[in-house]
Structure 1
Amino acid sequence: MAVVRRYGEEQRRTEERDLSDQTDGGCQKPAPEQAAVLRAWAAQERDRAEQLATFLEDVAVNGLPRPEDCTPWEELRDRRLAELGGTQ
Protein backbone atom coordinates (compact mmCIF):
# COMPACT_ATOMS: atom_id res chain seq x y z
CA MET A 1 0.00 0.00 0.00
CA ALA A 2 1.46 3.35 -1.03
CA VAL A 3 0.80 6.62 0.73
CA VAL A 4 0.04 9.57 -1.55
CA ARG A 5 0.11 13.07 -0.03
CA ARG A 6 -1.97 15.74 -1.71
CA TYR A 7 -2.57 19.19 -0.28
CA GLY A 8 -1.55 17.96 3.18
CA GLU A 9 -4.05 15.10 3.22
CA GLU A 10 -3.08 11.46 3.18
CA GLN A 11 -4.80 9.24 0.70
CA ARG A 12 -4.08 5.57 0.50
CA ARG A 13 -4.35 3.40 -2.54
CA THR A 14 -3.39 -0.14 -3.33
CA GLU A 15 -1.01 -0.66 -6.19
CA GLU A 16 -0.84 -3.97 -7.92
CA ARG A 17 2.43 -4.51 -9.71
CA ASP A 18 3.60 -7.40 -11.75
CA LEU A 19 6.91 -8.36 -10.14
CA SER A 20 8.20 -9.66 -13.45
CA ASP A 21 8.12 -6.09 -14.82
CA GLN A 22 10.26 -4.73 -11.99
CA THR A 23 14.01 -4.39 -11.82
CA ASP A 24 16.03 -5.35 -8.75
CA GLY A 25 15.50 -1.85 -7.31
CA GLY A 26 11.73 -2.23 -7.42
CA CYS A 27 11.26 0.19 -10.33
CA GLN A 28 9.03 -0.73 -13.23
CA LYS A 29 10.90 -1.04 -16.53
CA PRO A 30 9.44 0.86 -19.48
CA ALA A 31 8.21 -1.02 -22.52
CA PRO A 32 10.73 -1.17 -25.40
CA GLU A 33 8.77 1.48 -27.33
CA GLN A 34 8.73 3.77 -24.30
CA ALA A 35 12.46 3.25 -23.76
CA ALA A 36 13.13 4.20 -27.39
CA VAL A 37 11.10 7.40 -27.00
CA LEU A 38 12.98 8.28 -23.81
CA ARG A 39 16.34 7.66 -25.49
CA ALA A 40 15.37 9.88 -28.43
CA TRP A 41 14.25 12.62 -26.05
CA ALA A 42 17.52 12.34 -24.12
CA ALA A 43 19.49 12.67 -27.38
CA GLN A 44 17.51 15.80 -28.35
CA GLU A 45 18.13 17.34 -24.94
CA ARG A 46 21.87 16.56 -25.19
CA ASP A 47 21.96 18.27 -28.60
CA ARG A 48 20.17 21.34 -27.23
CA ALA A 49 22.52 21.49 -24.25
CA GLU A 50 25.54 21.23 -26.56
CA GLN A 51 24.21 24.08 -28.73
CA LEU A 52 23.68 26.26 -25.67
CA ALA A 53 27.14 25.45 -24.31
CA THR A 54 28.70 26.31 -27.68
CA PHE A 55 26.85 29.64 -27.76
CA LEU A 56 27.89 30.51 -24.20
CA GLU A 57 31.53 29.63 -24.91
CA ASP A 58 31.43 31.86 -28.01
CA VAL A 59 30.02 34.74 -25.94
CA ALA A 60 32.74 34.17 -23.33
CA VAL A 61 35.45 34.38 -25.99
CA ASN A 62 34.03 37.03 -28.33
CA GLY A 63 31.44 38.89 -26.29
CA LEU A 64 27.91 39.65 -27.43
CA PRO A 65 27.31 40.77 -31.02
CA ARG A 66 26.47 44.39 -31.69
CA PRO A 67 22.69 45.04 -31.80
CA GLU A 68 22.90 46.36 -35.36
CA ASP A 69 24.42 43.02 -36.45
CA CYS A 70 21.47 41.07 -35.02
CA THR A 71 18.07 40.22 -36.48
CA PRO A 72 15.26 41.97 -34.61
CA TRP A 73 13.05 39.58 -32.67
CA GLU A 74 9.97 40.79 -34.54
CA GLU A 75 11.44 39.53 -37.83
CA LEU A 76 12.32 36.20 -36.25
CA ARG A 77 8.82 35.92 -34.80
CA ASP A 78 7.13 36.75 -38.10
CA ARG A 79 9.35 34.33 -40.01
CA ARG A 80 8.59 31.52 -37.56
CA LEU A 81 4.86 32.25 -37.61
CA ALA A 82 4.93 32.13 -41.41
CA GLU A 83 6.74 28.76 -41.26
CA LEU A 84 4.18 27.40 -38.82
CA GLY A 85 1.30 28.72 -40.90
CA GLY A 86 2.63 27.00 -44.00
CA THR A 87 2.80 23.59 -42.34
CA GLN A 88 -0.76 23.51 -41.06
Structure 2
Amino acid sequence: MLTGKQKRFLRAEAHHLDPIFQVGKGGVNENMTNQISEALEARELIKVSVLQNCEEDRKIVAEELVKGAKAQLVQVIGNTIILYKQSRENKQIILPR
Protein backbone atom coordinates (compact mmCIF):
# COMPACT_ATOMS: atom_id res chain seq x y z
CA MET A 1 0.00 0.00 0.00
CA LEU A 2 1.33 3.41 -0.97
CA THR A 3 1.46 6.26 1.51
CA GLY A 4 0.39 9.80 0.61
CA LYS A 5 4.01 10.90 0.41
CA GLN A 6 4.85 8.03 -1.96
CA LYS A 7 1.85 8.82 -4.17
CA ARG A 8 2.91 12.48 -4.42
CA PHE A 9 6.42 11.37 -5.36
CA LEU A 10 5.10 8.98 -8.04
CA ARG A 11 2.72 11.63 -9.45
CA ALA A 12 5.70 13.96 -9.84
CA GLU A 13 7.70 11.19 -11.54
CA ALA A 14 4.80 10.39 -13.90
CA HIS A 15 4.16 14.00 -14.88
CA HIS A 16 6.47 13.93 -17.90
CA LEU A 17 5.41 10.46 -19.08
CA ASP A 18 3.12 9.90 -22.06
CA PRO A 19 0.37 7.27 -21.95
CA ILE A 20 1.60 4.02 -23.51
CA PHE A 21 -1.75 2.16 -23.43
CA GLN A 22 -5.25 3.19 -24.45
CA VAL A 23 -8.51 1.66 -23.26
CA GLY A 24 -11.20 2.05 -25.89
CA LYS A 25 -14.56 0.62 -26.84
CA GLY A 26 -13.51 -2.97 -26.09
CA GLY A 27 -12.71 -2.13 -22.46
CA VAL A 28 -10.18 -4.06 -20.42
CA ASN A 29 -9.34 -7.62 -21.45
CA GLU A 30 -6.89 -10.27 -20.30
CA ASN A 31 -4.43 -9.59 -23.11
CA MET A 32 -4.28 -5.90 -22.20
CA THR A 33 -3.68 -6.60 -18.50
CA ASN A 34 -0.87 -9.03 -19.42
CA GLN A 35 0.80 -6.40 -21.61
CA ILE A 36 0.41 -3.75 -18.90
CA SER A 37 1.91 -6.12 -16.35
CA GLU A 38 4.94 -6.69 -18.62
CA ALA A 39 5.31 -2.93 -19.20
CA LEU A 40 5.19 -2.32 -15.44
CA GLU A 41 7.92 -4.92 -14.90
CA ALA A 42 10.10 -3.01 -17.37
CA ARG A 43 9.20 0.57 -16.38
CA GLU A 44 7.57 0.39 -12.91
CA LEU A 45 5.44 3.50 -13.59
CA ILE A 46 3.09 3.97 -16.56
CA LYS A 47 0.17 6.06 -17.72
CA VAL A 48 -2.93 4.57 -19.36
CA SER A 49 -5.34 6.73 -21.35
CA VAL A 50 -9.10 6.04 -21.32
CA LEU A 51 -10.61 7.03 -24.66
CA GLN A 52 -13.93 8.85 -25.07
CA ASN A 53 -15.58 5.80 -26.69
CA CYS A 54 -14.88 3.57 -23.67
CA GLU A 55 -18.20 2.32 -22.33
CA GLU A 56 -17.02 1.76 -18.76
CA ASP A 57 -16.36 4.45 -16.15
CA ARG A 58 -12.68 5.37 -15.83
CA LYS A 59 -12.61 4.44 -12.13
CA ILE A 60 -13.94 0.96 -12.91
CA VAL A 61 -11.33 0.64 -15.68
CA ALA A 62 -8.64 1.61 -13.14
CA GLU A 63 -9.85 -1.04 -10.66
CA GLU A 64 -9.83 -3.72 -13.38
CA LEU A 65 -6.29 -2.79 -14.44
CA VAL A 66 -5.06 -2.82 -10.83
CA LYS A 67 -6.53 -6.30 -10.24
CA GLY A 68 -5.43 -7.73 -13.58
CA ALA A 69 -1.87 -6.39 -13.51
CA LYS A 70 -1.49 -6.71 -9.70
CA ALA A 71 -0.37 -3.08 -9.64
CA GLN A 72 -1.07 -0.15 -7.36
CA LEU A 73 -3.18 2.82 -8.36
CA VAL A 74 -1.36 6.12 -7.99
CA GLN A 75 -3.98 8.45 -9.45
CA VAL A 76 -6.93 8.80 -11.80
CA ILE A 77 -6.90 12.30 -13.26
CA GLY A 78 -9.15 13.21 -16.15
CA ASN A 79 -9.04 10.27 -18.54
CA THR A 80 -5.55 9.23 -17.46
CA ILE A 81 -4.70 6.43 -15.02
CA ILE A 82 -1.28 6.22 -13.37
CA LEU A 83 -0.17 2.75 -12.26
CA TYR A 84 2.87 1.63 -10.25
CA LYS A 85 4.32 -1.80 -9.61
CA GLN A 86 7.77 -2.41 -8.17
CA SER A 87 9.90 -4.41 -10.58
CA ARG A 88 11.42 -7.66 -9.36
CA GLU A 89 14.60 -7.43 -11.44
CA ASN A 90 14.84 -3.88 -12.77
CA LYS A 91 14.25 -1.55 -9.80
CA GLN A 92 14.58 2.05 -10.99
CA ILE A 93 12.34 4.05 -8.67
CA ILE A 94 13.26 4.36 -5.00
CA LEU A 95 10.20 5.38 -2.99
CA PRO A 96 10.49 7.74 -0.01
CA ARG A 97 9.65 6.21 3.37
Q: Same fold (TM over 0.5)?
A: no
Higher fraction of strand: 2
* TM-score normalised by the chain length of structure 2: 0.21
Q: Which is higher, the Rg of structure 1 or of structure 2?
A: 1
Higher fraction of helix: 1
* TM-score normalised by the chain length of structure 1: 0.22
